[in-house]
């Protein structure tokens, strides 16, 4: 369903992946955790913009779990900064704003500020 032609279906399926991620990430089983993380990351490097968009949908709620996001998806997410499709860039900007908000209390503020100041989104 995450590859459906209808955007709302992809978005809802992405929310289901978040629930799966939560269960696997906190299960204590490293193999399950890595399988789900790699599954999600695969969408970020897809040649189809709709799948890159799904990647952003998938990690958007993960931002609330700051440690999980930073540990598993921050580098992949920031590697997409030169995304050529405006719809994906808009979703990324929304997610970055959530990340910056969540990250306010963390020690990583300088990194986020530098990223936002130096990159076009």
pLDDT in tens, 76-88: 988 888 888 988 8
Residue 110 has pLDDT above 80, yes or no: no
pLDDT in tens, 6-31: 666 777 777 778 888 888 888 888 88
| Residue 2 covered by a domain | no
Distance CA 6, CA 96 (A): 24
54, pLDDT greater than 70: yes
Q: Rounded CA gap, 80 and 51, in Å?
A: 13
Evaluate whether residue 1 is within a structural domain: no
The answer to whether residue 18 sits within a structural domain is yes
Sign of the Cα pseudo-torsion (13, 35, 112, 85, in order): negative
pLDDT score, position 119: 55
Query: Which CATH number covers residue 39?
Result: 1.25.10.10
């Amino acid at each position: 369903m995450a590859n459906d032609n209808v955007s709302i279906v992809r978005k809802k399926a992405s929310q289901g992946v978040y629930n799966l991620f939560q269960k696997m990430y906190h299960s204590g089983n490293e193999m399950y955790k890595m399988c789900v993380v790699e599954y999600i990351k695969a969408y970020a490097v897809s040649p189809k913009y709709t799948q890159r968009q799904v990647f952003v949908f998938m990690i958007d709620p993960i931002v609330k779990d700051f440690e999980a996001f930073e540990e598993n998806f921050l580098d992949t997410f920031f590697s997409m900064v030169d995304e050529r499709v405006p719809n994906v860039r808009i979703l990324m900007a929304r997610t970055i704003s959530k990340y910056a908000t969540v990250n306010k209390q963390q020690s990583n503020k300088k990194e986020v500020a530098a990223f936002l100041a130096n990159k076009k989104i």
